[in-house]
Amino acid sequence: MAPQDRYLTLLTSLPAHGPLFGAKQTPLSRLRLRKRLAWLEPEDSEDLTRLAAATDWHRQRFDVDDEAVVQQAEQAIAQIHNAFTRDLAGWRLELRTVVAALRRRRAGEPAPSGRRKWGFGRWVPHIARHWTEPHFRLERVYPWLPEAKRLMDDGDPLGLERLLLGAVWTHLERIGAGHEFDFEAVIVYVTRWDLVARWTRYDADAALARFDALLETALTGVDLDLAA
């Protein structure tokens, strides 16, 4: 089967994504998605794996071992063959770099020096030069940046998570236009699947935490007789 026919079959077998923030679960399970992705051409499958290695939000943390993470990400991205996939990986890591800079500055850290890699992409020296500017003079590039700073300053991690996931979702809508039954469309679908999985997991965890807090507040001052 020709690659274009293979990807047409793959993509038509995948249930459509609904709105990101209206989702209660992913449109199909991780196991079913992996089975569908077995249809990928070997080189495309490798690119998808490298994209995940470069942008996995749980395995990579710029605030812990930033230089090692940046080097690992650069190596993974350099090995991606597909230009669309490579550009998406770079864009997401640049976004993370900007958010990491906000967190660093809020924690009282000085402007990073050029001797050590702390972030990824074209904006690293720009951010260092404009460290004292509220939004690093990047609000035109990232219109969501002022709101991200406000949410961070207000201590609203759920709001910040929602904002950032929404920014990625919107970016995918823009770059995915014109890609329907090709590998690029697969990349967009899988990345959206990851966003839905992350949001539904995060939202459920946040809801449970809020419920526990409310329950604890409601029971304050109540003497529970467990022997009753």
Alpha-carbon distance values, 31 to 26, 27, 57, 185 (Å): 12, 12, 20, 20
Whole-angstrom distance, CA of residue 93 vs CA of residue 96:
5
**Residue 221 located in a structural domain:** no
**Residue 225 located in a structural domain:** no
Structure tokens at 9: 């079959």
**Residue 223 located in a structural domain:** no
What is the domain range of residue 186?
Answer: 3-17+27-216
* 14-51: b (≥16 Cβ within 10 Å) or e: beebeebeebeebbeeeeebeebbebbeeebeebbebb
The amino acid sitting at 22 is G
The total number of structural domains in the chain stands at: 1
What is the per-residue pLDDT for 213? 52
What is the per-residue pLDDT for 94? 95
Half-sphere exposure of 97 (CA within 13 A, CB side): 26
What is the per-residue pLDDT for 118? 85
What is the per-residue pLDDT for 113? 80
Half-sphere exposure of 115 (CA within 13 A, CB side): 1
Taking every pair of Cα atoms in the chain, the longest distance, rounded to a whole number of angstroms, is 70
Radius of gyration of the chain (CA): 21
Q: Is residue 94 within 8 Å of residue 123, measured between CB atoms?
A: yes
**Residue 142 located in a structural domain:** yes
What is the per-residue pLDDT for 27? 94
Report the percentage of the chain scoring pLDDT > 90: 66
What is the per-residue pLDDT for 125? 94
What is the per-residue pLDDT for 65? 61
**Residue 22 located in a structural domain:** no
What is the per-residue pLDDT for 214? 52
What is the per-residue pLDDT for 133? 97
CA 116 vs. chain centroid, Å, equals: 24
**Residue 72 located in a structural domain:** yes
Q: Is residue 37 within 8 Å of residue 49, measured between CB atoms?
A: no
Q: What is the pLDDT along the chain (228 residues), one digit of tens a residue?
A: 676 788 999 999 999 999 999 888 999 999 999 999 999 999 999 999 999 988 875 554 444 466 777 888 888 899 999 999 999 999 999 999 999 999 999 999 999 886 667 889 999 999 999 999 999 999 999 999 999 999 999 999 889 999 999 999 999 999 999 999 999 999 999 999 999 998 988 765 665 555 455 555 444 444 434 333
**Residue 226 located in a structural domain:** no
Whole-angstrom distance, CA of residue 222 vs CA of residue 144:
44
Q: Among positive and negative, which fits the CA dihedral 11, 20, 188, 59?
A: negative
**Residue 162 located in a structural domain:** yes
Alpha-carbon distance values, 211 to 25, 132, 207, 215, 219 (Å): 20, 39, 6, 6, 12
Full-model pTM = 0.84
